[in-house]
Structure 1
Amino acid sequence: MDHKLKREHGFIHIPCHELDIFILSDGYFGVGYHQPILAPGIPQDIVKGELRNLYLPDSYYEAPINVMLIKKDDRIILIDTGEGFYDEENAGQLLHSLNAAGFTPESVTDILLTHAHRDHIGGILSQNDDNVFPNARYYISRKEFEFWMTGEPDFQKSKNPEGGKPGIPIVRKILSAINSRLTTFEMGDVLFSCIQTQAAPGHTPGHIIYTVNDGDLSITNIVDVLHSPLLIARPDWGTQWDIDFETGVETRRKVLENCYQNRTLICSAHLPWPGIGYINKVNDEFHWIPKVYNHPFVINLKTEPAIKAV
């Protein structure tokens, strides 16, 4: 049997108090075997043993692209835009999922960019260079914008220093195309009065995580701090996708510990769909605990006790 399961467009609705949160599927990406993208330099037999311990496939690596949307009064706030047309075989499903959830590209008023990797900004322009979200304003951390757009980006602290360079022209083309509608912010700023941004460097210099707050309910999106349950159990193994590998490891361990200590409800761009759950710790090892939900399209947070943010 073919191990690949074709992902149709889909969404999860998270009703809160004054906000409505949606997790939209953009599909997934697949890179073959986990190494060397994940766990570079770790002996293969050790990696395969850990994958089996976690009940993860030990012969291929696929990860979803989970995109958050927040409805706040008359504002429709999209967090990142998925792959767009760059991977139409497995990804690029965001617009279908957006429509399934009851929204249109024209209805999106604001787009927060967590960082400038292609699977997060690729959906901004169409293949004909048209604006996919014609009425949206964009927001990105100043540090992230300056890394890509000022001087020559430095990848020397990555485990694959040449790997990020082909993406530079794409990033510059996309960010230049939206420059007149782009606002930079400082990491730590609160956006739209409900989104607390927080620096999470390593994956990229200006990479952020963010907490959506609605009264006593909150959910923290750790975005690309993690790409697999493997990196929850083994945060030090890291990934070649981190522009600064050692800082990425440090950030990952700090975020995991904070999430565990505070019992934070989190979601992630690339943990198994829909990427919502908790971090547990047993015998000094972190574990992923998916959020329980009993309806195929709805996760209800209102029945839970107040959850602390990171």
Structure 2
Amino acid sequence: MQFTRRFLLQGAALSTIAPQLVWAQSSLTADGARLDTLSDGNLVLPKSFSLGDVAGPEADEILARYGLTGDSFEPDCNVTLLRSGDRTILFDVGAGPDFMPTAGKLMDAFDMLGVDPFDVTDVVFTHAHPDHIWGLLDDFGDLNFPDANYHIGQKEYDYWTDPNTVSTIGEARQTFAVGAANRLGILADRINLFGDGAEIAPGVAARATHGHTPGHMAFEVRLGSESAMIVGDSILNNHLAFERPTWRAGSDQDQDMAVATRVSLLDQLATEQMRMIGYHLPGGGMGRVERRADSYVFVGEDA
């Protein structure tokens, strides 16, 4: 199925399930620092695009246990905000006004939380898919966070700014490539590039979690004795990604690499009992991973 903007807009308009938006969804406070997850709304995605080749009776049975029986998914979008010392750091910027009408609500979340976008000192991208980077600009084409320093992984930046990407990424994702190239082009003279293990800010370390996109990054945030892993889309959902982590997902660009990344990350999070924040996980996305036999389960903070 071609994954076009027209399809996205039509799918969102036809959706009969409109989740209630809770702007400041989950919080973690320690040693004077605070992590919040803010709602950017939700996506409406065709199940065929999300599942890829794994659709079948076993997948349907798992999804039914999570109340997912229709032809589309409507995952939440959780943007993370860290306030620590003199730094206000935003991880991803949401979808903005041009992706689909159910998303792009981040500026409303800022208003509800009482944070001024001009106070954001740093914007850090996990990757450059539309629901993570298209919120860079407002309706007039100006930066939503004009005083921020911007950061993205070197490999991710190189991929989306390569002029060959739009012709090799496949028709379903060509709009992704054009949108990413345009926005990263706007930031070309003010964006900082980094690699695996880099310290983006005090207590914020980058971790390579490639696969969903070629240069996808996660970030471990330490707040004194507390810590949390912002995993972006390296763990895409709270159902199949946990119960069948070795299954390939249609929304991952390099599906085999994404599987290896997901399995490694789930094992680490379950073993260390480190908090995680998933961009598309429910209830604000903050919780922990528990191992169940040969699979895993996501336990949200409110569970």
TM-score by length of 2: 0.88
Corresponding residue SS for 1:114: coil
- Determine the structure 2 residue equivalent to 1:281: 291
Q: Report what 2:113 is aligned to.
A: 101
- 2:190 aligned to which of 164, 178, 181: 181
1:209 aligns with 2:218: yes
Give the Cα–Cα distance (whole angstroms) in 2 for the partners of residues 55 and 169 of structure 1. 35
Question: Aligned to 2:31, what secondary structure does the other structure show?
Answer: coil
Aligned counterparts, 1:1-310, within 5 A: 4-8=17-21, 10-11=23-24, 12-32=26-46, 34=47, 36-52=48-64, 54-59=65-70, 60-87=72-99, 89-153=101-165, 161-229=170-238, 230-292=240-302
Q: CA deviation at 1:3?
A: 5.0
* AA of the residue aligned to 1:18: G
In 2, Cα distance between equivalents of 1:275 and 1:180:
33
Q: CA deviation at 1:10?
A: 0.8
Higher helix residue share: 2
Deviations 1:159-210 (A, max 9, x none): xx43222221111110111222211111210111110110000011110111
In structure 1, give the amino acid aligned to 2:34. D
Distance 1:55 1:8 in 2: 19
1:188 counterpart SS class: coil
Query: How many Å apart are 1:155 and its aligned residue?
Result: 9.0
Asked if the contact 1:77/1:109 (under 8 Å) is kept, the reply is yes
Aligned-partner Cα distance in 2 for 1:155–1:271: 32
Q: Distance in 2 between matches of 1:195 and 1:220?
A: 10
TM-score for the superposition, normalised by structure 1: 0.87
Q: Tell me the amino acid that sits aligned with residue 29 of structure 2.
A: P
Looking at structure 2, the residues matched to 43 and 81 of structure 1 have their Cα atoms a distance apart, in angstroms, of 31
Q: CA deviation at 1:256?
A: 0.8
Q: Which moved more, 1:8-17 or 1:96-105?
A: 8-17
Give me the identity figure in percent: 26
Deviations 1:24-71 (A, max 9, x none): 100000114x2x22332224322211112x323121311011000111
Q: Is the 8 A contact 1:155 1:164 kept in 2?
A: no
Contact 1:39 1:237 in 2 (8 A): no
Letter in 1 for 2:44: G
> Quick one: which amino acid aligns to residue 164 of structure 1?
R
CA RMSD of aligned residues (A): 1.9
Q: Unaligned regions of 5+ residues in structure 2, if any?
A: 1-14
The one-letter amino acid of 1:205's match is P
